[in-house]
Amino acid sequence: MDAPATSAATLPIGAPTAESPNGTTSTLLDALRAAVGPERLRTDPDVTAAYSRDMMPLAPSGRPLAVVFPESTAEVVAVVRACAAAGVPIVPRGAGSGLTGAANAVDGGVTVVMTRMNRILEIDEGNRLAVVQPGVVNLDFRTEVESRGLFYAPDPSSYDWCTIGGNLNTNAGGLCCVKYGVTTDAVLGLEVVLASGEVLRTGRRTVKGVAGYDLTKLIVGSEGTLGIITEATLALRPRPAAPCTMVAAFPDTESAGAAVSAAIRAGLVPSLLEIMDATCIRAVEAYTGSSILGEGETPVAILLGQSDAGPVVARREMDELERVCAEAGSTFQYVTDDLAEGRLLLQARRLVLTSLEVLGTWLTDDVSVPRTEMSRLIHACAEIAADVDLTIGVVGHAGDGNMHPTIVYDAADPGQVARAADAFGRILDAGRALGGTVTGEHGVGRIKQDFLANEAGPVAMDVHRAIKRALDPQDLFNPGSMFAR
């Protein structure tokens, strides 16, 4: 295994900047105005500031020269060509729900906000696929296809406001990854505007297809560094049955981890399997004013599982998961077929970040470890929290080992900001040391470049740079995200 990154010292500081443009600012603005119309070109400082960063508080950001809001692929092409002629960088952006700074602006660059390209262009029920523009909100899309008896699986925690384009750029995951995978597993093809202004179409509409390199998977998760996605063809599934839900409480994280491992060995494939530590449980209970599991001592960990395999099979799977949890040492376990009860339990999981925000500014990490190492990661986070004297709550997708330790600090206190940055990096180091990876679903962005380099190694990073140079020789698209050129 490569040596872990030296964490806090490598966190980036300072705003990314663009090189001096090869043309005048007024010429570029005139070209952008011609591309999208005057009403969809904004240079007002208050507007450009509003689109300068995403939800990662420690990632550096700049102030864009302009923000544009295209409504068609042709307009995106015109914007790209105008910026290429001026030598000005472009940062594509969705709703801004990202957690790595991947959508953060570059000083003097142009931020291309894709939220107006928000049409569902086609839903093909016979082939179980849909064609959408990148600005479609994840929940709106899920709701529309469910009305037709279909299902789109990726469901990031911000699914009620994040966009499909943002999900594609970061290869977002969500609560259902354990059964359905991440965003790339639902993508059949893409339409992408390249740095040359050409429009690339990747993938296919068929169930199978292996002609040529898999350019679709190359683009998904590339954080807007290789092109701007303007259309996606997405695979749909039959709408699953109403879920059966199980919750179990544990006196220690080792027992919870043992239950997850036993469930995997038993061949269980829940549609959701989440974990919350005691810090997150107490935060949610304080926020809601009620106990998640009723009266009694707060458990050290809670596992929450669901199965959507149909009434009979789902109940059988959750009963088996309940048995596994009891054998692993759970102090309380409960299975319910009641939809309202299941939603209430799941809502507790979705409220974790909101609840922690009451305590201060939150900084969410994203690290995946082998499922057998989850309890050791949670213990490592507790040790780091004690060392830096900050609150760290751990919540995550137990079914696939993707954990989200969340650091709470006072953003007005420079000392706490520095300790939070230190803790963020040390958590990534701890995950790597356990055989994990520095990101499971949030991406690299402008906050984890050095950690990626340490994990991937020099040969892999040379390949990354070669691909970037081949597709974007001017370093036009989102320079500084993921890795330095």
DSSP string, 396-461: EETTTTEEEEEEEE-TT-HHHHHHHHHHHHHHHHHHHHTT-BS-SSS--TTTSHHHHHHHH-HHHH
Out of 328, 349, 370, a domain closes at 349
Q: Name the band, by pLDDT with cuts 50, 70 and 90, for residue 14.
A: low
Note the pLDDT tens digit of each residue in 223-268: 999 999 999 999 999 999 999 999 999 999 999 999 999 999 999 9
> Looking at the structure, do residues 176 and 205 belong to the same domain, yes or no?
yes
Pairing of strands 301-307, 244-250: antiparallel
Domain range for 254: 244-349
Q: Name the band, by pLDDT with cuts 50, 70 and 90, for residue 157.
A: confident
Distance CA 272, CA 265 (A): 16
> Looking at the structure, do residues 251 and 345 belong to the same domain, yes or no?
yes
361 within a domain of the structure (yes/no): no
Note the pLDDT tens digit of each residue in 120-135: 999 999 999 999 999 9
The CATH number given to whatever domain includes residue 186 is: 3.30.465.10
For position 234, what pLDDT does the model report? 98
Q: Name the band, by pLDDT with cuts 50, 70 and 90, for residue 11.
A: low
For position 174, what pLDDT does the model report? 87
The CATH number given to whatever domain includes residue 29 is: 3.30.43.10
Q: Name the band, by pLDDT with cuts 50, 70 and 90, for residue 296.
A: confident
230 within a domain of the structure (yes/no): yes
Instruction: Give the total number of structural domains in the chain.
Output: 3
> Looking at the structure, do residues 93 and 162 belong to the same domain, yes or no?
no
Q: Name the band, by pLDDT with cuts 50, 70 and 90, for residue 21.
A: very low
Looking at every residue in the chain, the average pLDDT score rounds to 93
For position 17, what pLDDT does the model report? 59
Quick check: pTM over 0.75? Answer: yes
Tokens found for residue 274: 């989440």
Contact 367, 294 (CB under 8 A): no
Q: Name the band, by pLDDT with cuts 50, 70 and 90, for residue 298.
A: confident
Note the pLDDT tens digit of each residue in 305-328: 999 999 999 999 999 999 999 999
For position 154, what pLDDT does the model report? 94
162 within a domain of the structure (yes/no): yes
363 has a pLDDT exceeding 90: yes
> Looking at the structure, do residues 254 and 202 belong to the same domain, yes or no?
no
Note the pLDDT tens digit of each residue in 174-231: 888 999 999 999 999 999 999 999 999 999 999 999 999 999 999 999 999 999 999 9
61 within a domain of the structure (yes/no): yes
Nearest residue to 398 (alpha-carbon basis) of 183, 225, 199, 178 = 178
2 within a domain of the structure (yes/no): no
CA distances from 379 to 155, 162, 372, 376 (A): 28, 32, 13, 5
274 within a domain of the structure (yes/no): yes
Query: What number of CA atoms fall less than 13 Å from residue 118's CA on the CB side?
Result: 16
125 within a domain of the structure (yes/no): yes
409 within a domain of the structure (yes/no): no
For position 20, what pLDDT does the model report? 43
Distance CA 421, CA 451 (A): 13
